[in-house]
Amino acid sequence: MNSGQPIQAADEKYDWDWTSQRSGWVPPALDTGRPSAARIYDYLLGGKDNFAVDRQAAARFEAAVPDLRRGVRANRSFLERAVDTMAGEYGIDQFIDFGTGLPYTPNVHEVARRRQPHSRIVYIDHDPVVVAHGRALLAGEPGVVMLANDLREPSVLLDDLETGGWIDFSRPVGLLFVGVLHFVPLDHAPGVLARYRCAVPPGSCLAISAACRTGSDPRLVALAEAMYAGSGTDLYFRTSAQVGDLFEGFTPVEPGLTDVTQWRTPSGGPLRVRALAGLAVR
């Protein structure tokens, strides 16, 4: 990777014409009649990039899972602490945020640059509306890019990252899978993680948070699965052992795999529908 070049300069395979005043580029059409997992998450965080249908869906989810909002905010807090730890304790200055969703302040690049001012960040999402919105907000931010890729296709994604020069895979990388792997089928995720693990060198870090059925209220787990399926997005709960297996090849760092509300900075008791979180180093 040529670190002296602006990261956007290499992005020739992606359409950046929409940033020009003379462009005729039109963003993907918004389906405001169907809830979006990304916009629901944005609403639960207190964001404004959502519609009535998303707020209505969120209200139904919260009625079924009363501590849902606290869980979403704890998950976001874990992301910020994990990035800060990677940058501050391990010197990571390049990150890949998989399934990033809609931008929310502080973003990964803002947190990382408190510790490593020249950090590069690649945001990944397969939702074209999320990508369009992210690009609009991040345009002109040096060393930051939003790419349209699906984390479930690691060979394609890694090839795009290497070909575009976004990530230098000879140096440690911070891999962020925060609040996204519970949308990946149970039998598919380990192979996906193994492919990314093989791509990064020793010293790289991995952060994961994922919905967990172990210790959760079974009735609420069933409700959450059914309600997400009704919104067009399947939700997969893992056992604590299955979440732990996702870290294969990495060494957990203190405090290990914990409830997302308890990682390093406890924030209330465990959730009725749990999410586990952890950070590990290769």
Please state, in angstroms and as integers, the Cα–Cα distance from residue 21 to each residue in 6, 25, 30, 76, 140, following that order.
21, 10, 22, 34, 14
CA dist., res. 276 & res. 170, Å (int):
30
Which has the closest alpha carbon to 102: 46, 53, 160?
46
Q: What is the CATH number of domain 32-281?
A: 3.40.50.150
Per-residue confidence in pLDDT tens, the chain, 282 aa: 333 333 333 333 334 333 333 344 455 565 666 777 778 878 887 777 778 888 988 888 788 777 878 888 899 999 999 999 999 999 999 999 999 887 777 899 999 999 999 999 999 998 877 888 788 878 778 899 999 999 999 999 999 998 889 999 999 999 999 999 999 999 999 999 999 999 999 999 999 999 999 999 999 899 888 877 866 678 899 999 999 999 999 999 999 999 999 999 877 777 888 999 999 999
Please report, for the chain, the start and end positions of each structural domain, with discontinuous segments joined by +.
32-281
